Structure 1
Amino acid sequence: MAGNPTPDRIEPPADGTPRRRRALILVENLSVPFDRRVWQESTALRDNGWEVHVICPKGTKRDTESYMLLDGVHIHRYPLRPATGGPLGYVREYGLALWHTLRLARRVGPVDVVHACNPPDLLFLIARRLQRRGARFVYDQHDLVPELYLSRFGRGQDLLYRAVCLLERLTYRAADVVIATNESYRQAAVLRGGKRPEDVFVVRSAPAVERFRQVPPEPELKKGKPHLLCYLGVMGPQDGVDYALRALARLRDELGRTDWHAVFIGAGDTFDAMTALARELGLGDLVEFTGRIPDADLLRYLSTADVCLSPDPSNPLNDVSTMNKVLEYMAMGRPIVSFDLKEARVSAGDAAVYAPANDEGEFAKLIARLLDDPEERRVMGEIGLARVTGPLSWERSVTHLLAAYEAAYAKPPRRGRRARG
């Protein structure tokens, strides 16, 4: 859909009809609707009577319009250059994002709920301004930023670490309600955030099953090999693509297996470094990097894949985080090899096999085991699909999302008073 001219201000109905309750969702990490979780939340709220506005950055090749009304959701976007140069680069990025977010929030006007999605834990500054005008603040904690800092930069508990801990505490304190992506995050909100358990709601990320549908497999994608291995997701420092590549090198060198072709789908900060590592390991003929691809091509690869890889290493963030790629593999009925992480087991259960944390040799052995056992692969795929269409489905998460909004809306507005935890 083409973009529309950016309105100077979104005005209430002029005919005297009662206006719908208005939600303003703030996200800095990704553009919308590319951010699937935020888009699912937006459309669920729209379907339940809310007028939804989203403020987010522009994408690079998609989501480039400054304003568009997409499927009934108002999307306001601003230009943003991703951070470079370590932590100080993020300080520059976040400062610019806050300025643009405040500018666009003024244009949207009064709202009933402001819904801020981290990272970063700075959007509470915008939320507090809107609280003083009667809005309630829903904090949607996508990442535990202190753990993200430790896992991404390896600088230990230095001054910047203490700063991100402080910002997280201030965000918890300002929030009327917290949305957590899993029980581990919920425990963090209660224990270190001081939130009342009844004010913290688990809204799990779940793939839209209508998007992830089986299509006929295409053997030619295996490049003449009997088996296809797939990785889908972001390629950042904490995502473990390097672990997967080293495991594949061991699968070839120590187990003598070259009966596979592997495709890595996605992009990110370490994409160039990972393609270089594949060449360094001599995997050029066995491994393919596609970058980001259209959904139609994604379904072709996943429908053809024999085994899918979730190589996120054990670290303070990954141990307690839910990996979207795991749920997406399950939605496609694919068996998974993962490292043994707490929330990976919660999500996948018996749809995955688990190597000891960060053990690349065992990861390689589990790949070989699944390649040799098509019946085990079939059963694991069926288990995963049943979980993601049942207890882990988005429909169940929508119920919790709406409950969180009702709990926030029922609270008295804070207006000018100080936020309390």
Structure 2
Amino acid sequence: MRDTLPPFRPDVAVLFGRELPRFGVQSDLLGQSGKEAAAPWTAGRMWVHGRLRPGLLGEMLRPVRDLAMFWRLDKSHSLVQVRDKIRTGWIASLMCRLRGRPFVFWMSFPMAEGFAVRAEQLRGSASPPLLLLHRLKARVAAWLFYQHVVPHATHLFVQSEAMLEHMAARGVPRERMSAVPMGVDVSLLSSVAPLDERPAQWSGRRVVAYLGTLGRARDPEFLLDSLRLLRELEPAAMLLLLGDAPSAEERLWLRARIADSGLAEHVHLTGWLPQAEALRWLACAELAWSPVPRGVLFDVSSPTKAVEYLALGVPCVGNDIPDQQLVLTQSGGGICVPMDIEAFAHASMRLLSNPPMARKMGSAGKAWVRQHRDYSVLARQVASVYESLCPSAGQQQEQMK
């Protein structure tokens, strides 16, 4: 795993930690630790090899430390799966060929393209040697991934149908790929209750929410501009921002943008909250926004926030990222528009001015998520892929039952 251990993302902690074991799929994890204390991994074993180090030293140490996983392999391991780590994926593909095991790559993000975008972002701000280093890193990552990792993967899990099509265009056979979009833990979200007591600032206000990261890359100024126009249509509208920017520098920048916008009294920024508390705040909103900037990275993503909104029964106004468009269109749980200020403001006004329609969308979205994006549903699909890759392991599980 590229992320630190213990796992914190739902598509690992819930999907692999709780749901897949119900279908006989156990998993042993190996990686570096973060700031969190080690916790038991009930779906198997968890081996932590040192802390995740920042900087060049950490970059060089990660694949070396990951080599330790091959000394942990035993007869109980039916396959080796690498998540988002290109160099480790290359090493794993070699070792799996030597040891006669299937090699699976879980692609939750287009890492090679991400390195290229990062290199372009540094143009004009980074020193020539640093810019050259990032460009070299991007080229080597793309060459290694597309020429040596993907061709030797027995199977490739991708995050959306759009990502599957992207990889198919790169020559990967569709039958060697499975799209696993982001889901939610419906059992958790179904028990969420709105706040018992709402802030006095909300009295008489129409609350529009946004849940998630608010760094520059997410264009939070779009939210403020959309609020400004929405307030011309509905003066009682206010924006609830559930989250924060990822770094101290960006957090200062975000607060300055809110202050400079002239909308500070109409914006409630909570900062980072525990998930359970953030969901209680979110459940108080009349509608929620999910703008995701278009581009090579996010177009193939599977945004979680729209699914979380719908699971809580909160109608969503979101833009036309392919997976998000599919969710909003198929579920009837919101309105999909281009990422345009006027489009977001007017779609929001449609919901605020028609509460019965908003309630109908909330109910429809909630039902659709339970049927299509609950991790218990996704786990059944993922387990069937593993059974096809490791039929002997599946037969053993059946015999054990």
Instruction: Specify the TM-score bucket, using the shorter chain as the normaliser.
Output: 0.7 to 0.9
- Is 1:187 the equivalent of 2:160? no
2:335 aligned to which of 342, 347, 353: 353
Q: Distance in 2 between matches of 1:231 and 1:308?
A: 6
For residue 316 of structure 1, give the secondary structure of its aligned residue in structure 2: coil
1:408 aligned to which of 384, 389, 392: 389
Deviation per residue, 1:318-369 (Å, 9 max, x gap): 2222101111111111111112222211122232223323x22332332333
- Is 1:268 the equivalent of 2:268? no
User: How far 1:81 moved relative to its partner?
Assistant: 4.1
Partners of 2:105 and 2:153 within 8 A in 1: yes
| Aligned residues with identical type, % of pairs | 23
- Normalising by structure 1, we get a TM-score of 0.78
- Is 1:70 the equivalent of 2:70? no
CA 1:76/1:191 → structure 2, altered by over 3 Å: closer, same or farther?
A: same
Partners of 2:215 and 2:244 within 8 A in 1: no
Equivalent position of 1:3 in the other structure: none
CA 1:54/1:373 → structure 2, altered by over 3 Å: closer, same or farther?
A: same
CA 1:276/1:130 → structure 2, altered by over 3 Å: closer, same or farther?
A: farther
- Listed as ranges, the gaps of 5+ residues in structure 2 are 124-133, 393-401
Equivalent position of 1:134 in the other structure: 100
CA 1:288/1:64 → structure 2, altered by over 3 Å: closer, same or farther?
A: farther
Deviation per residue, 1:213-271 (Å, 9 max, x gap): 2314545147234222222123344333332133223434x546243242222552444
Equivalent position of 1:204 in the other structure: 181
Partners of 1:80 and 1:96 within 8 A in 2: no
Q: Distance in 2 between matches of 1:291 and 1:362?
A: 27
Equivalent position of 2:206 in the other structure: 227
CA 1:200/1:294 → structure 2, altered by over 3 Å: closer, same or farther?
A: same
Q: Amino acid of the residue matched to residue 41 of structure 1? A: L
Q: Per residue, is there more helix in 1 or in 2?
A: 2
Which has the higher mean CA deviation after the structures are superposed, 389-398 or 297-306? 389-398
Q: Distance in 2 between matches of 1:374 and 1:263?
A: 22
Q: Amino acid of the residue matched to residue 201 of structure 1? A: S
**Residues 19-418 of structure 1: matches in 2 within 5 Å?**
27-43=1-17, 44-60=19-35, 63-65=36-38, 68-77=39-48, 78-82=50-54, 93-103=58-68, 105-106=69-70, 108-110=72-74, 111-118=77-84, 120-131=85-96, 132-149=98-115, 154-155=120-121, 159-169=136-146, 170-192=148-170, 194-213=171-190, 214-218=192-196, 220-221=198-199, 223-225=201-203, 226-252=205-231, 254-255=232-233, 257-269=235-247, 270-349=250-329, 350-357=332-339, 359-409=340-390
- Normalising by structure 2, we get a TM-score of 0.82
Deviation per residue, 1:39-75 (Å, 9 max, x gap): 2332333333344211244333xx332xx43334323
Q: Amino acid of the residue matched to residue 272 of structure 2? A: R
Q: Distance in 1 between matches of 2:314 and 2:60?
A: 41
User: How far 1:143 moved relative to its partner?
Assistant: 1.1
Q: Distance in 2 between matches of 1:152 and 1:346?
A: 28
Q: Distance in 2 between matches of 1:405 and 1:316?
A: 29
Q: Distance in 1 between matches of 2:70 and 2:112?
A: 30
- Aligned-pair Cα RMSD in Å: 2.8
CA 1:259/1:348 → structure 2, altered by over 3 Å: closer, same or farther?
A: closer
Q: Amino acid of the residue matched to residue 232 of structure 1? A: L
User: How far 1:117 moved relative to its partner?
Assistant: 1.3
For residue 265 of structure 2, give the secondary structure of its aligned residue in structure 1: coil
- Listed as ranges, the gaps of 5+ residues in structure 1 are 1-26, 83-88, 412-421
Q: Amino acid of the residue matched to residue 141 of structure 1? A: M
Partners of 2:318 and 2:336 within 8 A in 1: yes
Partners of 1:112 and 1:135 within 8 A in 2: yes
CA 1:346/1:216 → structure 2, altered by over 3 Å: closer, same or farther?
A: same
Partners of 1:310 and 1:325 within 8 A in 2: yes
CA 1:277/1:373 → structure 2, altered by over 3 Å: closer, same or farther?
A: same
Equivalent position of 1:16 in the other structure: none
For residue 135 of structure 1, give the secondary structure of its aligned residue in structure 2: coil
Q: Amino acid of the residue matched to residue 53 of structure 1? A: D
Q: Amino acid of the residue matched to residue 40 of structure 1? A: V
Q: Amino acid of the residue matched to residue 320 of structure 2? A: D
Counting matched residue pairs gives 369
Which has the higher mean CA deviation after the structures are superposed, 266-275 or 397-406? 266-275
